[in-house]
Amino acid sequence: MGDVKGFLKLKRQQAEYRPVCERVKDYCEVCVRRPEGGTRQQASRCMDCGTPLCHWGCPLGNYIPEWNDLVFEGKWKRAYELLAKTNNLPEITGRVCPASCEDSCVLGINDDPVTIRENELAVIEHAFKEGWVRPSPPGERTGKRVAVIGSGPAGIACADQLNKAGHHVTVYERDRELGGIMRFGIPDFKLEKWILGRRLDILRAEGVDFRAGVSAGADIPASDLLGNFDAVCLTGGSRVPRDLAVEGRDLKGIHFAMDYLVQQNRINSGEKVPKSDRIDAKGKKVVVIGGGDTGSDCVGTANRQGASCVVQIEVLPEPKTVKTTSSHEEGAERTWSVMTKKFSGERGRVKKLVCVRSDRPDERFEIDADLVILAIGFVHPEHDGLLAGLGVEFDRRGNVKTDDSFKTSVDKVFSAGDMRRGQSLIVWAVYEGRMAAHNIDKFLMGESSLPAI
């Protein structure tokens, strides 16, 4: 390492955000980029540890100590080249990944861990600024054709890798715009959509054929996919939300988190949504059920819509290490060990939640609510349509079943991402897409030069 005592000299510099009073008035990115000199200092905190567990914590196996050292030395281009070897979407993960690598950082045993996520973002944004991230089409084509269904992180990573191997890749996306959950599920204040567009433009220039607004299984029958392509990869995500089947669930004013977030993202993109269809928190008492990242995104969205107050409840006990996001800092009351037993309302609209403490089920209490957002995850992918048409098998959780090579029960059909492993993180989706691409390339060519991680 460039400075083996850097971690002794410097403390962790937390991510900086725009002032709350400013950022809640818009949907622009909340983070403030750290100066390059500050990033080099923070990178020097990466220790020359014998066993860098950050590798274990990152599904992609990013070369974290190596590019931290290169950043400290000011060798930004080499740092970018190492980062690009393992991550197809570092500008996305550098913004929205919960950074399990930092949870595994050896320095974190007795001090604050290295700012790995912010350093990763600094590397890729420096590379874009310097013009190092540019299209690099494959030198020759194999003549093989692959269809990738879904343009989320798993689909994009899979398509990128297969295109690098020289295959003709067509990506089908049923939404009118590309990006999947990155486009519509993540709020703009965490991920402005021009960032996604910048990457998609590069992939197009490299030869990936993106077709938005095309529903595989409907607009293109499953039989056509099997007949016209040498391989198909299913990366459609896990889109069936988990519901809360309690009394009063049919009251108006109770919505799934993804319906709420998607609608606001569409409005931000300029789409007109009739007032009667709007899920609007303005002036309302909002309760978000679910304590994860999606629930946090709903908190931030409600704050920007002008909610009178926001309460976020979680059925699990309060963890030893509580994660506080920028959305929580903007205003939210958080409560753990809360089970919702019933919704009650007036004139057909929700007005209260009747709850109990998980550890004290006999003690009931109420929470006022004009708007309730269910952010309690997803159960499995949609089975009707394409998956039914292909006839793929499902595992016991309802996800697409594959073998160790990511191949489904149907010949030449593979699957990756949330559709295969269940709801998970973007970094896992990128890993899945890369692994599927390696196995598809091997299936088509007999061997593969694509990395197996």
Q: What local confidence, expressed as pLDDT, does residue 243 receive?
A: 98
CA 430/CA 246 separation, integer angstroms: 36
Among candidates 126, 176, 116, 186, which has minimal Cα distance to 151?
176
- Cβ atoms of 111 and 7 within 8 Å: the answer is yes
Asked whether the predicted pLDDT for residue 176 surpasses 90, the reply is yes
Asked whether the predicted pLDDT for residue 393 surpasses 90, the reply is yes
Give 42-55 pLDDT, tens digit per residue.
999 998 888 899 98
Q: What average pLDDT does the segment 367-393 reach?
A: 97
- Intrachain domains 6-130 and 145-239+379-445 with the same fold: no
Over pLDDT 70: what percentage of the chain? 100
CATH: 3.30.2000.20, 3.40.30.10, 3.50.50.60, 3.40.50.620. Which one for 243-376? 3.50.50.60
Q: What local confidence, expressed as pLDDT, does residue 280 receive?
A: 98
- 337: Cβ contacts below 8 Å, ≥ 6 apart: 314, 315, 316, 317, 318, 357, 358, 359
Asked whether the predicted pLDDT for residue 192 surpasses 90, the reply is yes
Reported as a pLDDT band with limits 50, 70 and 90, residue 453 is confident
- 449: Cβ contacts below 8 Å, ≥ 6 apart: 165, 441
The rounded Cα 223 to chain-centroid distance in angstroms is 31
Asked whether the predicted pLDDT for residue 1 surpasses 70, the reply is no
* pLDDT averaged over every residue in the chain: 96
Asked whether the predicted pLDDT for residue 109 surpasses 90, the reply is yes
Give 195-233 pLDDT, tens digit per residue.
999 999 999 999 999 999 999 999 999 999 999 999 999
Give, in order, the Cα–Cα distances in Å from 199 to each of 128, 133, 193: 10, 9, 10
Asked whether the predicted pLDDT for residue 5 surpasses 90, the reply is no
Q: What average pLDDT does the segment 399-420 reach?
A: 98
H/E stretch holding 368 reads strand 360-368
Give 325-377 pLDDT, tens digit per residue.
999 999 999 999 999 999 999 999 999 999 999 989 999 999 999 999 999 99
Among candidates 387, 37, 16, 412, which has minimal Cα distance to 233?
412
Domain 6-130 sits in CATH at 1.10.1060.10
Asked whether the predicted pLDDT for residue 2 surpasses 90, the reply is no
Q: What local confidence, expressed as pLDDT, does residue 20 receive?
A: 97
Reported as a pLDDT band with limits 50, 70 and 90, residue 4 is confident
The yes/no answer on whether domain 145-239+379-445 falls in CATH 3.40.640.10 is no
Single-letter residue type at 113: P
CA 248/CA 352 separation, integer angstroms: 10
pTM to 2 decimals?
A: 0.96
Q: Tokens in use for 213?
A: 């607004």
Reported as a pLDDT band with limits 50, 70 and 90, residue 395 is very high
**HSE-up of residue 208 (Cα within 13 Å, Cβ side):** 28
Domains of the chain, residue spans = 6-130, 145-239+379-445, 243-376
Say how many C-beta atoms besides its own lie within 10 A of residue 449's C-beta.
11
Single-letter residue type at 121: L
Give 60-98 pLDDT, tens digit per residue.
999 999 999 999 999 999 999 999 999 999 999 999 999
Among candidates 413, 415, 417, which has minimal Cα distance to 425?
417
